[in-house]
């Protein structure tokens, strides 16, 4: 104690020195830990960079910036998607009541009105239809009450059937034999099986695909118009399959024993081209004769409906 009193200044300096050394040690230890953590992070970043450089493609280097190139390509892709959406516009359901919801009375009235409209459009376009044809809605034509949960899908199908038929009528086909859709209602079980085919709608994370099939008769230039109208439509039509054969062959394979019972007999006779008359051969020895033949076309399509953006 006496020594401390005699050397008070030295003792104070010693105590301060010890405190400073302790503080310096703590600060050094803290910085060492920080440097170790930083080195670990740096090593991870370096390993990640090495991994990226060994990938194909790599992010690039000082001469090639693949990341920026990818961003530009993504921008172009999004612009193309926005432009492509113009060809995948939704077909309005019939009746189109998104807020109020479809009622049995509204659908029954819209169904009869749409069938009458399509029959008149076919008549105006000189398209032959089967007698009293209901465009695949034979089961629902006379109903006023419909199976639970079927009104919305039926209204969607009615709008799509109308759009498909109007494309066929605009192409001036000769006749529409039938149009087939997938079952969406318990009421469909009571209709003729020729109105349906065994398939179903499918979907992915982008769109819903609804199939339809149809059989019609036309000439080759009319078939070209049908395909052109489907391709240029603002709705998303995709032709999935097509079968073409001479109408005479198709009619012979399905003709009834009594020719008078065939509702298409008169139409077939009217549309068959007359045989070319014999003509003298010119000096060149060649003669060009157009022998257009009526075709029976069976076509399967899908209607693409884009899902709402999330």
How confident is the model over 117-136, as pLDDT tens digits?
Answer: 999 999 999 999 999 999 99
The domain segmentation of the chain, as residue ranges, is 86-255+293-306
DSSP 195: G
Q: Name residues whose C-beta falls within 8 Å of residue 137's C-beta, 6 or more positions apart in sequence.
A: 111, 115, 158, 161, 191, 195
Residue 301: per-residue pLDDT: 94
Kindly tell me the burial class for residue 165, based on how many C-beta atoms sit within 10 Å of its own C-beta (0-12, 13-18, 19 or more): buried
Q: State which H helix or E strand residue 296 sits in.
A: strand 295-306
- Residues of the chain predicted below pLDDT 70: 1-11, 49, 52-64, 249-291, 310
Residue 15: per-residue pLDDT: 74
- 210 phi, psi to nearest 5 deg: -115, 120
Residue 177: per-residue pLDDT: 95
- In 3D space, the residue among 159, 217, 149 whose CA is nearest the CA of residue 187 turns out to be 149
Give me the CATH code for the 86-255+293-306 domain, please.
3.30.70.60
Buried b (16+ CB within 10 A) or exposed e, 9-27: eeeeeeeeeeeeeeeeeee
Q: Name residues whose C-beta falls within 8 Å of residue 217's C-beta, 6 or more positions apart in sequence.
A: 173, 174, 175, 177, 247, 264, 267, 271, 294, 295, 296, 297
Residue 7: per-residue pLDDT: 66
Residue 247: per-residue pLDDT: 82
Cross-strand partners of 173:
none
Q: State which H helix or E strand residue 180 sits in.
A: strand 175-180
User: DSSP states of 25-52 as a string?
Assistant: HHHHHHHHHHHHHHHHHHHHHHHHHHHH
Helices (H) and strands (E) in the chain, counts: 9, 5
Residue 196: per-residue pLDDT: 92
Count of Cβ atoms closer than 10 Å to residue 264 Cβ: 19
């Amino acid at each position: 104690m006496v020594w401390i009193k005699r050397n008070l200044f030295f003792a104070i300096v010693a105590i301060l020195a010890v405190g400073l050394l302790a503080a310096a040690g703590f600060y050094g230890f803290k910085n060492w830990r920080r440097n170790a953590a930083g080195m670990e992070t740096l090593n991870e970043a370096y390993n990640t960079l090495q991994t990226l450089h060994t990938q194909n493609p790599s992010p690039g280097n000082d001469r090639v910036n693949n990341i920026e190139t990818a961003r530009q390509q993504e921008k172009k892709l999004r612009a193309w998607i926005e432009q492509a959406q113009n060809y995948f516009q939704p077909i309005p359901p019939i009746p189109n009541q998104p807020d109020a919801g479809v009622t049995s009375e509204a659908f029954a009235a819209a169904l009869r009105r749409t069938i009458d409209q399509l029959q008149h459009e076919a008549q105006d376009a000189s398209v032959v239809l089967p007698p009293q044809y209901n465009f695949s809605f034979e089961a629902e034509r006379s109903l006023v009450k419909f199976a639970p949960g079927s009104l919305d899908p039926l209204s969607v199908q009615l709008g799509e059937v109308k759009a498909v038929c109007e494309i066929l009528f605009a192409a001036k086909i000769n006749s529409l034999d039938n149009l087939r859709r997938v079952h969406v209602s318990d009421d469909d079980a009571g209709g003729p099986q020729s109105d349906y085919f065994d398939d179903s709608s499918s979907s992915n994370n982008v769109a819903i695909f609804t199939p339809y099939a149809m059989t019609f008769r036309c000439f080759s230039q009319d078939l070209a118009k049908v395909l052109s109208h489907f391709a240029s439509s603002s709705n998303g039509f995709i032709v999935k399959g097509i079968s073409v054969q001479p109408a005479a062959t198709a009619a012979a394979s399905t003709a009834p024993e009594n020719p008078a019972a065939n509702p298409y007999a008169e139409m077939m006779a009217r549309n068959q081209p007359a045989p070319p008359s014999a003509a003298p051969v010119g000096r060149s020895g060649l003669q060009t004769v157009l022998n257009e033949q009526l075709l029976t076309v069976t076509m399967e399509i899908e209607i693409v409906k884009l899902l709402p953006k999330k």
